[in-house]
Copies of this chain bind each other. A is one copy, B any other.
Amino acid sequence: MIAEIIAAGSEMLTPFRQDTNSLYLTAGLNDLGVTVAFKTIVGDSLEHLTGAAVNALRRADIVIFSGGLGPTEDDLTREAAAAALGIELHPDPGMIAALYKRFAERRMTMTPNNTKQANVLDGAKLLENRNGTAPGQFLETRFAGKRRIVVLLPGPPKELKPLFDEQVKPRLAATLPPAFIAKRQLRMALIPESLVDSRTAPIYKTYADVETTILAGSGEIQLNFIVAKPTLAEAQAVVDELAAKVEDEMDEDIFSSHGESLEEVVLLNLGMRHLTLAAAESCTGGTFAERLTAIPNSSRSFVGGVVAYTPELKTLFVDVPAEMLAAEGAISEAVAGALAEGIRRKTGADVGIGITGLAGPGGGVGPDEGKAIGLVYIGLADAAGTAVKEVKITGDRERVRWWASQHALEMVRRRLLQG
């Protein structure tokens, strides 16, 4: 069974906006063993939308529309689906009453155009929308002699998601052969994708029934395994066995074997050891702190830190000696160590991180003149002493800053593994 997702809305054909609902819908369809084979994005034109619907009905078993169910003239999905299927729309009296009631409860007058949302494809089931006025629709039908399922969903994600999960997935599952899908995700940081692939391909390729996807980006590699089996227990056993073998191979390079982010893993490991962390950031300008504090309850382990962007602030807040800054430059092994030690001493945290580097695009000045853009030093100070790592990061300012914070997080994680 293959599916096509049609996203309706002219705004998604501008340089500014993109269809994102289809990612959510794809994950849900994959859970049911359904592959998405096509996605079409089409504007608010009855002709274009009807043509896209005909194409979809020809080539896909399941056609899911998102958007174009509202009350305005531009909302044409119902009309296009009806035209493509060669069937009629009829107003649903119960839904019209429900719309009047909804407006009355909000003490608003319902304009007549709203009743169009109660137009139903002949034979379709209306799907109640808790979070908006436009209901979804679910239709089992035939097109050119073939069995087809047509689903209409409202465009706003907070309406589409619960409607899809609660009302569409169970209905689809009931019409599909039972599929039991199990997934696992292994995550690694700062390792080249080619290296991960050359070490793990000999393992995952022996599991021909498991679909393996390697995703790389932002200093992280994800290995995704997904398998369908006649029972959930069988499916789970297969992905767990494969994941265990890959974990044996990659060992401590894997920071997460159940989907947690690197930030979450670092905070979790600090929490388990009752350790606290603080950071003095220069080139990352708060990226490291921002990433950790984005996690709820991070304050249990991450106490805070300083963004010591100028040389003066490095001295003021964490006592980096002015002579060291003048002699070595801010972008130096010595200063990274002093930042880490200084923030640890000042805050009393168990682990101190110091990050200094040249994010570009401008070059270094004074004692930092001539240092390469992308040169970053990361210091880690704890009870055992201070270590500094030098890294060279390619790319633009945003990339250097992100990767520097990634290196710092990974450095904390690996330090904690050592005990």
Contact = CB atoms under 8 A, between A and B. Distances in A.
A36 interface: yes
A108 to B, nearest CB: 14
Interface string A231-242: 000000000000
A73 B290 CA distance: 43
A361 interface: yes
Interface stretch (A78-86, A254-262, A292-300): A292-300
Nearest to A291: B286
Interface string A331-363: 000000000000000110000000000001110
Interface residues of A, number: 70
Contacts of A187: none
Given A42-B38, A304-B306, A305-B306, A23 B18 contact: yes
A330 to B, nearest CB: 11
Interface in A31-53: 35-43, 45, 48, 51-52
A26 interface: yes
A288 interface: yes
A30 interface: yes
The residue among A51, A213, A285 with the most chain B CB atoms within 10 A of its own CB is A285
A239 B134 CA distance: 36
A39 B59 contact: no
A16 B24 CA distance: 9
A14 to B, nearest CB: 6
A307 B281 CA distance: 10
Interface string A267-290: 000000000000101001111111
Given A304-B313, A316-B347, 8 more contacts: A13-B36, A39-B39, A286-B288, A293-B401, A296-B360, A302-B309, A305-B307, A306-B307
Interface of A: 11-18, 20, 23-24, 26-27, 30, 35-43, 45, 48, 51-52, 55, 59, 213, 215, 222, 224, 279, 281, 284-290, 292-294, 296-299, 302-310, 312-313, 316-317, 346-347, 360-362, 397-398, 401
